[in-house]
Amino acid sequence: MNAQILALALFDGLSYAALVFMVAVGLTLIFGVLRVLNVAHGSFFAMGAYTTASVGSAIFAAGFAPWLAFPLMAVSAILIGVLVGGTVEKLLLSRIYEMEDVLQILVTFAVFMMLEDVQRLIWGVQPLFESTAVNLLGTIEVFGIVYTKYQLLFLPAVAASVLILLRLGLRHTLTGHLILAVTEDREAAISIGIDAQKVYLVTFIVGASLAAFGGALASATTSVIPGMGADMIVLSFAVVATAGFGQIEGAAIAAVLIGLGRSFAVYFYPELEVLMPYLIMFVVLLIRPNGLFAPVEARKI
């Protein structure tokens, strides 16, 4: 087995895992707090990618400094999270928290379909591509392989930073403590004066922003096309189910597992590329029905 091919599969898997993690961690955060399985989450990923690619192409064509590509990703993610995510939560999701799970899924699927059409109305159906960030960082040679620093170093570093900041934010800030309180026991949190609706709104905006940030990061390495949100949300569900719903650190490990599995399949068993993430999920759920890192619940008799 060629060592360079192994290295390529490893590099591709880690960079892909970083992107999937950004979306999956937002999805699992929303589910952990709001208890809503948000199918529309993939649309935030796509809109983050479209916004970054389209605005980036415009401002760099106008002669702005290339380094603005990096803050543009963060700004695009926040805008999508606040404007689109906040609007969706405030006008729609806040009204369905007490509904059955199946109805919640149907409602968020309807939102996903509407946002897909909004993307086509705004950006059309032609692919967009904006690679200033990748070109700016250049390449690096590892084991005789020339690879972009953006994918090999920047993406994993950003994903690791988001994981650390998210965990620190939940454990060591007032907002984080409020989120954890509502997650543990909503009724008790409300009884001591915590505004659960505001906590839900903030959590949804953060989760949507993380998905949009994943799209913004992805826009520099792949063409932005219609349907990319659907592909990503399915993979994100696989990651979240493999880790266990609501497991933030587990989502990172599951993303790496699925990213590497998919990447090695591409290089060594191409016919299994599409199947591999779901095969991993299937095997894990056979052994641990609640996911790898979900706590074991005692049976009630």
What pLDDT, in 10s, does the model give residues 272-281? 888 898 899 9
pLDDT category of residue 1 using cuts at 50, 70 and 90? low
Between 127-131, 141-145, 248-252, the lowest mean confidence (pLDDT) is in 141-145
pLDDT category of residue 33 using cuts at 50, 70 and 90? confident
Between 50-54, 128-132, 242-246, the lowest mean confidence (pLDDT) is in 242-246
The pLDDT assigned to 187 comes to 83
The pLDDT assigned to 116 comes to 92
The pLDDT assigned to 144 comes to 82
pLDDT category of residue 297 using cuts at 50, 70 and 90? low
User: Considering the chain, what percentage of its residues have pLDDT values greater than 90?
Assistant: 51
User: What is the chain's mean pLDDT, rounded?
Assistant: 89
Between 21-25, 272-276, 292-296, the lowest mean confidence (pLDDT) is in 292-296
Domain boundaries 3-287, corresponding CATH code: 1.10.3470
pLDDT at 239 over 50: yes
Average pLDDT over residues 56-72: 93
pLDDT in tens, 87-109: 999 988 888 887 777 888 888 99
The pLDDT assigned to 300 comes to 38
CA-nearest of 173, 282, 278 to 236 is 278
Residue 183 vs residue 26, higher pLDDT: 26
Average pLDDT over residues 125-133: 90
Residue 99 vs residue 81, higher pLDDT: 81
Strand partners, 139: 148
Joined tokens for residue 71: 């803050």
The pLDDT assigned to 299 comes to 42
pLDDT at 298 over 70: no
Residue 125 to residue 108: CA distance in whole angstroms: 23
The pLDDT assigned to 66 comes to 92
Average pLDDT over residues 186-191: 83
Secondary structure of 19-72 as H, E, C letters: HHHHHHHHHHHHHHHHCCCCCCHHHHHHHHHHHHHHHHHHHHHCCCCHHHHHHH
Average pLDDT over residues 139-166: 91
Look up tokens 């926040």; give the residue: 78
Average pLDDT over residues 223-241: 90
